[in-house]
Amino acid sequence: MLEVIFESVLEPLVLFPVATAVLVFGLLLKGADRIVVARLQRRVGPPLLQPFFDILKLMSKQSMVPIGAPRTLFLALPMIGACSMCLAIAIVPIVGVYEPSGQFGDLIVLLYLLAIPAIVIMLAGSASGSTFGAIGFSREMSLMLAYEGPLLLVLISVAMKTGLAQGDLITFSLMDIVHYQQTNGSFLFDPWMWPVVLAFLSIIPANLGIPPFDIPEAESEILEGPLCEFSGPALALFKIMSTMKTMVVLALGIVMFMPGNATGMMALIGFILKCLVLFLLIKSVLRASVGRMRIDQAFLFYFKWPELLGIVGLLLVVFKG
């Protein structure tokens, strides 16, 4: 089984060299996050390469399957989650460095792919047969229902802004969105798009399970919740899935709001710096300074503020775009 798991994660990474590079960068970002949080809390913190060591150590262990858990489903779920994020990162362009062939439904495909990790985690909590997993399942489902609505409003607003400017009602092509901003300026600097930008920034923590919205896994409360019973390569695949999803969401935010016009090495450096700044502000500073919310508080928060910002942003696009 260990060999099968190794092949399942290595094959898609070989097929998608971009995914391999993004995974390495994502693990480096996680290492930087641990160092920054440690410094903010006056601790030394682990080395920068600690996330790599964690993955390698887990890959060398054995995956244990709880008694009564459906073995095939239990071991297949992390594979599905990791592979879905490899596919997602292959769709998102890195402007000036990597541009996939133009597709008309990129945003729609990404919306579905970004939902897979949350669904996988919910199924993992259910399949494990653990009480902690069941609690994490219910929390993940509640949180997903809360932030998916605002996320959909954000994607539609960006798609309509580009489509209306091109004479269409809406466009779901990421390259069309990039080309429009390269010609007319980034949406980040358009005051009419600021509600959409704020809504997207507020969605990132819950979508990635970052404090104060790491409620489904809550290590100090329910011991990683849905992942409580996972170990070895299976758990490593969940960590890889989480890292890849982080990079997909960061790259999507850059594409939608600040793609830039640089090419070659300057474009790559710009992308790295944007990811680093966005990641440290959204995750590290927030994680070090804010306590975890209760699930009811998070649910109400997303149904009030990001939902409102998304609606206001969509109305501004319709009437001002």
Asked if the bond preceding 212 is cis, omega within 30° of 0, the reply is yes
Distance CA 65, CA 231 (A): 9
DSSP string covering 5-68:
HHHHHHHHHHH-HHHHHHHHHHHHHHHHHHHHHHHHTT-----TTHHHHHHHHHHTS-----TT
pLDDT at 12 over 60: no
Distance CA 19, CA 25 (A): 10
**pLDDT tens digits, residue range 157-171?**
999 998 887 777 788
pLDDT value for 5: 46
**pLDDT tens digits, residue range 215-272?**
877 777 666 677 877 888 888 888 999 999 999 999 999 999 998 887 778 888 888 8
Quick one: how far is CA 283 from the chain centroid?
12
pLDDT value for 290: 76
pLDDT at 321 over 70: no
**pLDDT tens digits, residue range 140-160?**
888 888 888 899 999 999 999
pLDDT at 291 over 80: no
Model-level pTM greater than 0.85? yes
Which residues share a beta bridge with 98?
A: 94
**pLDDT tens digits, residue range 265-287?**
888 888 889 998 888 888 877 77
